[in-house]
């Protein structure tokens, strides 16, 4: 699949297709970031686009006004995003998670409002003439080029998400999602780990934003509103909460579906909403929840921890049972 | 006339057995006790009868009528009331409001409801004194009294009550059991779940003993009370110690 | 005699009700201590007070000499007091192995940096933990179930998995809330053997159990609670023949 | 001083709207623990429905018949209540056992359906529509501040509706059943309460109140838009949380406080910062009193 994706620009020179494709990749990146918060830790974040905006605006401002290189501007974006995640997360993570949904939603609105109303952010028109992304002498200035940049980013994020998922961090998040009381009994500090989830989500969102700015060369507040946050939530919810593959699939559907049905114009979002509701009623955990891709995920994982093969650790002289024993020793 | 008939009732919680193949019956006007240690399936059985959990198989008849497809709130309207374990009174409502809700299902008019209310309050004078108090401020014993009174508001044919003595001190237990006898005296059939064997057998005519989800013993109270198998069901078989 | 847990005058009040009433008790490090008593006696409340899920109204609980009253549940767990739950609390959407790994959360040494950026520390720590987890699963006889979802396991196996999840943490004290409730007689044998082995390894076991046969079989000390008070305490045989205990279980005559 | 009085008056006026919509959020949350994100859109749909109905009945009339507005308002209340109930029956009721997260996502989906549904409906669409009826500018002075009769009437109607709900929930048998269901659904079933019916009624009442707020919004502001539900819904929910969600009195008080805070904030910083002020108030509130002004602390038990 990766190979297929790698050669996609070779098959088509159609800029429209390439544009849609890299938008889809971008949404995958964002969805992978949100998946850490919603899918792993089970916290509904409805203002995720705020972190996307923070990355995009930091890069936009630094590269146009201060003439920083795009690559260098990623770091300050990440720092600001993490600080924002702490500020908004710290007071609210103690609360019931449904309150968090509202507070994050408000945070998203606040960030957008700030972007619209400050001079530094260019007001409603935003920032334009953002320079191209470059590493050394390689300058990326075509749709195909950004297609590859985002392809690499998707792969990095997917691997990173998988790594987090199968670390003590990921396990702690899942425990919190499944049962907070039992998680405490494992010695997991609930509020710390919720904050971590929130911070990691912010980092991925912000990096995506930093690369989005040069890809479009212009950014404006309209791209970072609630509807963008909503698209990301939908990608995660449709694909399957917590599943890296599912989330990427969901992002592709969310981006491509409305494009395919473009001739229905406005009705496509209506149909989309109906499908989302229908999906949640029928499959509340999404199309491909975790472990639906068990085979693939397990293989990826064993590649990851080459030397850790639990099956090889079964010692034959252990107390091995599965079901009733024939007789007592 | 049989008030309740259960035939081969089985209930599972996912993979976990609740009760298995339980058959029992309760005559109209009778007090019958369900005994057994914790986890034996007594509460599960009551929940299946009142319909708040689904039985996997078996038939439940209420005065000869099959209850199978009837939703739980309609069973209450039909005259079968269940006072659950832990009383489950509405703590944020006043005593009076709790009582009024007890008559919710029986679609009587306002006048009849207030008549019924004064009847019940006459039976439970304590509640009359504290009519406007929040139910959450009552002590355990008082809450149990309220739960019984609330159940009586609908003038039930059958009252099922789960562990009325739970967490109460001895005087309160006496009060609650006196009340249960009064309730039975006015013709209400009572199905009583109780851990406290002596207490239950004192007021019940008959009893069924559950162990691990099945009926292991049943009979009239006077003969059960001296049956050694009854104490086995609680304190284990090894009465002489086998170490 | 070294008391690992010292409980002094522990009282817990809910609304107007005393769930625990002036409980004082010492539990020896070498003990397999059973807490029994009729439904509603306050046994689970007692566990919840010890493990930081409830804050007692008054009284003190000490663990290895230091005060743990009012510490949060995660902190108590970190000290080495681990528990199981009455209605088993597994993480249903995680695999059996991962459930157990989660139990070893605090033993994994990888820090945020090595998890995110990489380095040998992470892989090393994960490998160690996986080994430990498989060993714990073997200990309870579930090694071959490691890749199944915890939510798909039958009840008895979930109970054993919960034990493995406790064991991987190398706890000093384990509190088991009704380990044998609702399991078949075959599984019960399995559980009782596992509990005894945990105890033989030097871990202090405190268990709430209704199966008096099991208690008589494996416990070294028994405490009987009724209405939030201790009504008897001592060796299993003593407690069993105590008139008050029989009364608490069988009830008393009225008036 | 006079400026403050003016902001206070505007705040109460704004708060009346917030409070009405907040009631719907609060009641549904109280009973299902669900943040019904679609609630603001019930309000929006109600505005469009009333626009069309009023437009139809006003044809040929040169001046406004307020009696007509009232009965159209009542009709719209019933229709919006019906819409909310229908949403419950079709979406939330089948999801009663699903995770609350999935329910909230379904609610967001429903909100999208309603917004885009209005967007594609012929005659409605994306542009601002001019409401067929508006309140006259005549009014009265308090000191040097001018308030219109329309504002006063709207505050009074909102107050009466709020009082009605308060009495319904507090005094009637149905209201007691609602509180019983919100505390303990199983115990409520054991009282013979039809829990599904009670939940449906709660949705109906919440929807009806949103319907009333919609007609008054249209009449007062004179224009409606398919996105109007979103912001107002957000603010109303904030109001519900401020007051202590699940609490009837709290919703009204939270609405008033938010209205006043926002109106003063707007006076100080400008209208574009209104939503920032609202959320800053919310976050501050959650810092210091996580359960809201009237919310009680839920006992921490396992």
Query: pLDDT tens-digit profile of D135-155?
Result: 888 888 887 888 888 889 999
Q: DSSP string of D242-296?
A: HH-TT-HHHHHHHHHHHHHHHHHHHHHH-GGGHHHHHHHHHHHHHHH-TT-SSPP
Structure confidence at residue D145 (pLDDT): 81
Cα B24 to Cα B61: distance, rounded to the nearest angstrom: 11
Residues of C in contact with A325 (CB under 8 A): 186, 189-190
Q: Which domains does chain C have, with CATH numbers?
A: 1-74+208-255 (3.40.50.300)
Structure confidence at residue D84 (pLDDT): 97
**Three-point CA angle A228, A92, D203, nearest 5°:** 70
Question: Is D297 part of any domain?
Answer: no
Task: Evaluate if residue A316 carries a pLDDT over 50.
Answer: no
User: Which of A204, A228, A153 minimizes the C-alpha distance to A35?
Assistant: A204
Backbone angles phi, psi at A79, to 5 degrees: -60, -45
- Kind of pairing, strands C3-14 and C58-63? antiparallel
Nearest CB partner across the interface for D120, out of A109, A117, A270: A270
Residue D17 is inside which H or E element, if any? helix D2-32
Instruction: Name the band, by pLDDT with cuts 50, 70 and 90, for residue A136.
Output: confident
Q: What predicted TM-score, i.e. pTM, was given to this entire model?
A: 0.85
Find the mean pLDDT for residues D167-190.
Answer: 92
Please list the helix, strand and coil fractions of chain D in percent, rounded to the nearest 5, in that order: 75, 5, 20
Task: Evaluate if residue A321 carries a pLDDT over 80.
Answer: no
Taking an 8 Å cut-off on Cβ atoms, the answer to whether D241 and A266 are in contact is: no
- A-proximal residues of C, 75-114, CB under 8 Å: 77-78, 82-83, 85, 89-94, 97-98, 101-103, 105-106, 108, 110, 112
Question: pLDDT digits over D83-125, tens only?
Answer: 999 999 999 999 988 888 789 889 989 998 999 999 999 999 8
Task: Choose the mutation target among A39, A40, A82, A168 for the interface with C, i.e. most C CBs under 10 Å.
Answer: A168
Overall size of chain D counted in residues: 302
Q: How distant, in Å, are the alpha carbons of A304, B4, C112, C130, D193 from that of C118?
A: 12, 67, 9, 18, 58
Q: How distant, in Å, are the alpha carbons of B77, B163, B164, C183 from that of B85?
A: 20, 6, 8, 22
Residues of B in contact with C239 (CB under 8 A): none
Which residue in the block uniquely carries the two structure tokens 């008939």?
Answer: B5
Taking an 8 Å cut-off on Cβ atoms, the answer to whether A91 and D286 are in contact is: yes
Task: Choose the mutation target among C53, C54, C73, C84 for the interface with A, i.e. most A CBs under 10 Å.
Answer: C73
The 3-state DSSP class for residue C197 equals: helix
Q: What is the dihedral of CA C119, C125, C126, C127, to 10 degrees?
A: 110
- The total of structural domains in chain D comes to 1
- Kind of pairing, strands B31-35 and B206-211? parallel
Sort D59 into a burial class: Cβ within 10 Å, 0-12 / 13-18 / 19+.
exposed
Question: pLDDT digits over C151-204, tens only?
Answer: 888 878 888 899 999 999 999 999 999 888 777 777 888 888 889 999 998 999
Residues of B in contact with C192 (CB under 8 A): none
Find the mean pLDDT for residues A110-133.
Answer: 90
Question: pLDDT digits over A208-236, tens only?
Answer: 999 999 999 999 998 998 889 988 998 99
Taking an 8 Å cut-off on Cβ atoms, the answer to whether C105 and A171 are in contact is: yes
In percent, the amount of chain B with pLDDT more than 90 equals 46
Closest CA of chain B from C124, distance in Å: 38
Instruction: Name the band, by pLDDT with cuts 50, 70 and 90, for residue A315.
Output: very low
Closest CA of chain C from B98, distance in Å: 18
**Three-point CA angle C131, C136, C142, nearest 5°:** 110
Asked if the C-beta of C48 comes within 8 angstroms of chain D's C-beta atoms, the answer is yes
Closest CA of chain B from C123, distance in Å: 37
Q: Is C138 in contact with C51 (CB distance < 8 Å)?
A: no
Sort B56 into a burial class: Cβ within 10 Å, 0-12 / 13-18 / 19+.
middle
Closest CA of chain C from D300, distance in Å: 8
Find the mean pLDDT for residues C15-32.
Answer: 86
Region for A136 from its dihedrals, namely left if φ exceeds 0, alpha if ψ lies in -120 to 50, beta otherwise: left
- Kind of pairing, strands C32-36 and C204-208? parallel
Residues of C in contact with B221 (CB under 8 A): none
Residues of D in contact with A114 (CB under 8 A): 276
Structure tokens at A146: 């950004």
- Kind of pairing, strands C3-14 and C17-28? antiparallel
Question: pLDDT digits over A49-68, tens only?
Answer: 999 999 999 999 999 999 89
| Residue B104 CB partners (closer than 8 Å, separation 6+) | B154, D173, D176, D177, D191, D192, D193
Residue D21 CA, chain-centre distance (Å), reads 1
| Residue D259 CB partners (closer than 8 Å, separation 6+) | D10, D11, D12, D13, D14, D15, D16, D17, D18, D19, D239
Find the mean pLDDT for residues C202-227.
Answer: 89
CATH code, domain carrying D188: 1.10.3470
Taking an 8 Å cut-off on Cβ atoms, the answer to whether C250 and B237 are in contact is: no
Show which subunits contact C, needing at least 3 CB pairs below 8 angstroms. A, B, D
Instruction: Name the band, by pLDDT with cuts 50, 70 and 90, for residue A297.
Output: very low
Residue C59 is inside which H or E element, if any? strand C58-63
Show which subunits contact A, needing at least 3 CB pairs below 8 angstroms. C, D
Cα D92 to Cα D32: distance, rounded to the nearest angstrom: 9
User: Which of D35, D228, D239, D259 minimizes the C-alpha distance to A100?
Assistant: D35
Q: Is there contact between C and B if contact means ≥3 C-beta pairs under 8 Å?
A: yes
Overall size of chain A counted in residues: 329
Q: DSSP string of A125-156?
A: G-B--PPPEEETTEEE-SHHHHHHHHHHHHHH
Please give the class, per CATH, of domain A2-321. Answer: mainly alpha
More confident residue, A310 or A210: A210
Q: Is B87 in contact with B146 (CB distance < 8 Å)?
A: yes
More confident residue, B81 or D243: B81
Task: Evaluate if residue B239 carries a pLDDT over 50.
Answer: no
Asked if the C-beta of A182 comes within 8 angstroms of chain D's C-beta atoms, the answer is no
Closest CA of chain D from B65, distance in Å: 18
| Residue C135 CB partners (closer than 8 Å, separation 6+) | A313
Cα C229 to Cα A296: distance, rounded to the nearest angstrom: 55
Asked if the C-beta of C45 comes within 8 angstroms of chain D's C-beta atoms, the answer is no
Count residue pairs from B and D with Cβ separation < 8 A: 67
Question: Is D302 part of any domain?
Answer: no
Count residue pairs from C and D with Cβ separation < 8 A: 5
Structure tokens at A148: 């590859």
Nearest CB partner across the interface for D113, out of A44, A105, A274: A274
Residue D140 is inside which H or E element, if any? strand D139-142
Structure confidence at residue B237 (pLDDT): 53
For C225, the closest chain B residue by CA position comes to: B167
Measure the N-to-C terminal CA separation of chain A; round to a whole number of Å: 53
- How much is the mean pLDDT over chain C? 87
What CATH architecture does domain B2-235 belong to? 3-Layer(aba) Sandwich (3.40)
């Amino acid at each position: 699949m990766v190979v297929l994706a790698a050669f996609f620009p070779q098959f088509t020179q159609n800029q429209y297709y390439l544009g849609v494709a890299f938008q889809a990749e971008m949404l995958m990146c964002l969805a992978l970031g949100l998946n850490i918060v919603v899918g792993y830790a089970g916290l509904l974040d409805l203002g995720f686009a705020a972190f996307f905006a923070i990355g995009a605006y930091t890069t936009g401002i630094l590269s146009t006004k201060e003439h920083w290189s795009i690559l260098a501007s990623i770091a300050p974006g990440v720092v600001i995003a993490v600080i924002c995640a702490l500020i908004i997360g710290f007071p609210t993570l103690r609360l019931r998670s449904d309150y968090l949904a509202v507070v994050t939603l408000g945070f998203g609105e606040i960030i957008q409002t700030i972007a619209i109303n400050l001079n530094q952010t260019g007001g409603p028109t935003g920032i334009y003439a953002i320079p191209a992304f470059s590493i050394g002498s390689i300058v990326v200035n075509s749709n195909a080029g950004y297609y590859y940049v985002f392809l690499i980013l998707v792969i990095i994020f997917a691997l990173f998400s998988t790594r987090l998922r199968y670390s003590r961090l990921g396990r702690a998040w899942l425990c919190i999602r499944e049962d907070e009381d039992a998680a405490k009994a494992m010695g997991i500090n609930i509020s710390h780990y919720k904050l971590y989830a929130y911070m990691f989500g912010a980092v991925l969102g912000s990096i995506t934003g930093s690369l989005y700015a040069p890809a479009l060369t212009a950014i404006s507040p309209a791209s970072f509103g609630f509807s963008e946050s909503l698209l990301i939530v939908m990608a995660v919810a449709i694909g399957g909460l917590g599943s890296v593959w599912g989330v990427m699939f969901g992002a592709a559907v969310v981006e491509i579906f409305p494009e395919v049905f473009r001739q229905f114009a406005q009705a496509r979002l209506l149909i989309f909403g109906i499908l989302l509701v229908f999906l949640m009623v029928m499959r509340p955990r999404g199309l491909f929840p975790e472990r639906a891709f068990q085979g693939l995920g397990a293989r990826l994982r064993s590649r990851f921890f080459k030397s850790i093969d639990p099956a090889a650790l079964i010692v034959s002289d252990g107390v091995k049972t599965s079901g009733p024993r024939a007789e007592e020793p | 006339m049989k008030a309740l008939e259960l035939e081969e009732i089985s209930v599972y919680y996912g993979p976990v057995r609740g009760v298995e193949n339980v058959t029992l019956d309760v005559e109209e006007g009778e007090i019958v006790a369900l005994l057994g240690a914790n986890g034996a399936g007594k509460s599960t059985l009551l929940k299946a009868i009142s319909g708040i959990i689904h039985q996997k198989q078996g038939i439940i008849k209420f005065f000869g009528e099959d209850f199978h497809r009837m939703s739980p709130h309609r069973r209450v309207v039909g005259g079968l009331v269940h006072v659950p374990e832990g009383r489950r009174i509405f703590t944020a409502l006043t005593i009076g409001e709790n009582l009024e809700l007890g008559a919710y299902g029986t679609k009587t008019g306002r006048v009849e409801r207030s008549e019924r209310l004064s009847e019940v309050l006459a039976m439970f004078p304590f509640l009359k004194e504290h009519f406007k108090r929040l139910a959450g401020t009552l002590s355990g014993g008082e809450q149990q009294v309220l739960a019984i009174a609330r159940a009586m508001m609908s003038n039930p044919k059958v009252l099922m009550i789960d562990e009325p003595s739970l967490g109460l001190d001895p005087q309160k237990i006496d009060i609650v059991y006196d009340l249960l006898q009064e309730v039975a005296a006015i013709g209400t059939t009572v199905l009583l779940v109780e851990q406290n064997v002596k207490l239950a057998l004192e007021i019940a005519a008959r009893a069924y003993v559950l162990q691990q989800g099945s009926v292991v013993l049943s009979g009239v109270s006077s003969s059960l009370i001296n049956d050694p198998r009854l104490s086995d069901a609680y304190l284990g078989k090894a009465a002489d110690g086998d170490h | 005699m070294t008391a690992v847990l010292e409980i002094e005058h522990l009282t817990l009040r809910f609304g107007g009700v005393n769930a625990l009433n002036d409980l004082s008790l010492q539990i020896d490090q070498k003990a397999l201590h059973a807490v029994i008593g009729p439904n509603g006696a306050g046994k689970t409340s007692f566990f919840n007070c010890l493990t930081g899920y409830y804050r007692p109204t008054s009284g003190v609980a000490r663990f290895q000499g230091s005060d743990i009253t009012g510490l949060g549940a995660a902190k108590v767990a970190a000290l080495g007091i681990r528990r199981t739950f009455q209605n088993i609390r597994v993480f249903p959407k995680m695999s059996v192995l991962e459930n157990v790994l989660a139990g070893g959360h605090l033993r994994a040494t990888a820090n945020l940096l090595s998890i995110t950026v990489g380095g040998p520390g992470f892989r090393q720590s994960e490998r160690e933990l996986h080994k430990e987890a498989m060993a714990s699963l073997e200990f309870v006889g579930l090694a071959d179930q490691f890749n199944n979802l915890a939510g798909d396991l039958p009840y008895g196996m979930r109970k054993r998995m919960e034990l493995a999840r406790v064991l991987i943490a190398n706890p000093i004290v384990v509190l088991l809330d009704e380990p044998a409730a609702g399991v078949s007689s075959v599984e019960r044998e399995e559980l009782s053997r596992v509990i005894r082995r945990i105890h033989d390894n030097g871990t202090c076991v405190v268990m709430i159990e209704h199966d008096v046969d099991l208690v008589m079989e494996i416990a070294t000390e028994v405490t009987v609670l009724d209405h939030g008070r201790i009504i008897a305490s001592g060796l299993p045989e003593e407690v069993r023949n105590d008139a008050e205990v029989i009364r608490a279980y069988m009830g008393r005559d009225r008036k | 001083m006079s400026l403050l009085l003016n902001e206070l008056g505007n705040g109460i006026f704004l708060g009346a709207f917030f409070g009405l919509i907040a009631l719907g959020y609060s009641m549904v949350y109280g009973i299902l623990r669900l943040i019904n994100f679609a609630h603001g859109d019930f309000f929006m749909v109600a505005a469009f429905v009333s626009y069309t109905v009023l437009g139809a009945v006003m044809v040929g009339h040169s001046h406004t018949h307020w009696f007509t507005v009232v009965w159209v308002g009542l009709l719209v209340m019933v229709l919006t209540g019906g819409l909310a109930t229908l949403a419950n029956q079709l979406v939330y009721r089948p999801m009663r056992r699903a995770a609350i997260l999935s329910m909230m996502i379904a609610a967001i989906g429903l909100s999208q359906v309603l917004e885009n549904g209005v967007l594609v409906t012929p005659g409605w669409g994306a542009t601002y529509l001019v409401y067929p009826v508006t309140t006259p500018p005549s009014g009265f002075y308090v000191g040097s501040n001018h308030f219109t009769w329309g504002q006063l009437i709207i505050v009074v109607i909102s107050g009466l509706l709020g009082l009605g709900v308060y009495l319904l929930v507090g005094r009637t048998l149905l209201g007691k059943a609602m509180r019983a269901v919100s505390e303990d659904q199983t115990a409520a079933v054991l009282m013979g309460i039809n829990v599904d019916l009670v939940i449906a009624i709660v949705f109906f009442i919440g929807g009806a109140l949103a319907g009333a707020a919609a007609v008054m919004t249209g009449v007062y502001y004179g224009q409606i838009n398919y996105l109007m539900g979103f912001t107002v819904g957000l603010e109303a929910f904030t109001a519900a949380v401020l007051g202590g969600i699940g609490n009837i009195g709290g919703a009204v008080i939270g609405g008033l406080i938010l209205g006043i805070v926002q109106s003063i904030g707007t006076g100080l910083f400008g209208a574009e910062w209104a939503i920032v002020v609202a959320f800053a108030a919310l976050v501050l509130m959650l810092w210091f009193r996580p359960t809201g002004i009237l919310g009680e602390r839920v006992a921490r038990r396992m």
